């Protein structure tokens, strides 16, 4: 399929899942707007590389997803937003009774409230264009829970709820809203955790991946950023025009348990 002529705005996309999604959308012909909170030459270089590799327009816009006004400004600065991918997120692990309030506030702001602000700004743009796709990157933790991740799980459950409401409010329009719920995805951040985890548990790389990191993922394989991108491209296709208000799990069977 081709997404030529469409512009995709992907939050938190200078690395990991967000970057993987941006690349797959560019491969499908979409112009892409990358984002993160930094404003480094290398951020802009990533966008330049995507443009050169895939023959699309690509640029990087700095915006802090913890601040609602900057979330909305990102959409305005993008100039167009046919596809909105809310991917920005952070994590902190701690028991509820000692969970730092500032961490709670930051996780809710970046993982949940940012999606509200960007969606609120993007819907009028999509309506004017007569077409739109909202793809929210939730998590297996948007459908289930684990201890010590209260803020993350609350936020991701909220993202799923926001997705459903967005879908209902746009149900009679050529706009869809869906959430992708990944399990463990092999990103540079996850890859960097493997050596320390090997030392902590005195295990081989294979055993750490299978028995520690992917303990709850029945496939015992990581999802890939390319798979996340491919799922996003599908949700933007004509074949998915009647898929709205739902979740698609890319979790190796995690939520089947």
Residues in the chain: 257
Q: Could you confirm whether 201 is annotated as catalytic?
A: no
Task: Return phi, psi of residue 70, to 5°.
Answer: -75, -30
3-state secondary structure 84-126: EEECCCCCCCECHHHCCHHHHHHHHHHHHHHHHHHHHHHHHHH
Of 193, 75, 186, nearest in space to 126 by CA: 75
DSSP 8-class letter at 209? I
Range list of H helices, the chain: 16-27, 41-54, 68-78, 101-108, 114-129, 150-169, 188-201, 205-208, 225-235
Q: In what order do the strands lie in the sheet with 31-36?
A: 58-62, 31-36, 7-10, 83-86, 132-137, 175-182, 247-250
Q: What is the largest CA-CA distance in the chain?
A: 57
Residue 245's H or E segment, with its range, is: none
Task: Return phi, psi of residue 62, to 5°.
Answer: -75, 135
Active-site choice (148, 152, 184, 201): 152
Catalytic residues: 152
């Amino acid at each position: 399929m081709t997404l030529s002529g469409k512009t995709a705005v992907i939050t938190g996309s200078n690395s990991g899942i967000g970057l993987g999604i941006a690349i797959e959308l560019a491969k499908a012909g979409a112009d892409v707007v990358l984002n993160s909170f930094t404003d480094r030459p290398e951020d802009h270089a990533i966008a330049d590389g995507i443009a050169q590799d895939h023959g699309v327009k690509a640029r990087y816009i700095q915006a802090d997803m913890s601040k609602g006004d900057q979330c909305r400004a990102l959409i305005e600065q993008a100039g167009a937003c046919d596809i909105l991918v809310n991917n920005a997120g952070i994590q902190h692990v701690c028991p509820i009774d000692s969970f730092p309030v500032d961490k709670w506030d930051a996780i809710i702001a970046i993982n949940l409230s940012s999606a509200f602000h960007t969606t609120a700004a993007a819907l009028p743009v999509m309506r004017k264009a007569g077409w739109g796709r909202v793809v929210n990157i939730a998590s297996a933790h948007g459908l289930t829970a684990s201890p010590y991740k209260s803020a993350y799980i609350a936020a991701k459950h909220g993202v799923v709820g926001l997705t459903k409401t967005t879908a209902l409010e746009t149900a009679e329009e050529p706009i869809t809203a869906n959430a992708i719920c990944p399990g463990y995805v092999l990103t540079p951040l996850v890859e960097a955790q493997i050596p320390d985890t090997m030392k902590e548990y005195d295990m081989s790389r294979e055993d750490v991946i299978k028995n520690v990191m992917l303990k709850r993922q029945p496939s015992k394989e990581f999802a890939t950023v390319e798979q996340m991108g491919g799922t996003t491209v599908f949700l933007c296709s004509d074949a998915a025009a009647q898929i709205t208000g739902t979740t698609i799990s890319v979790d190796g069977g995690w939520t089947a348990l």
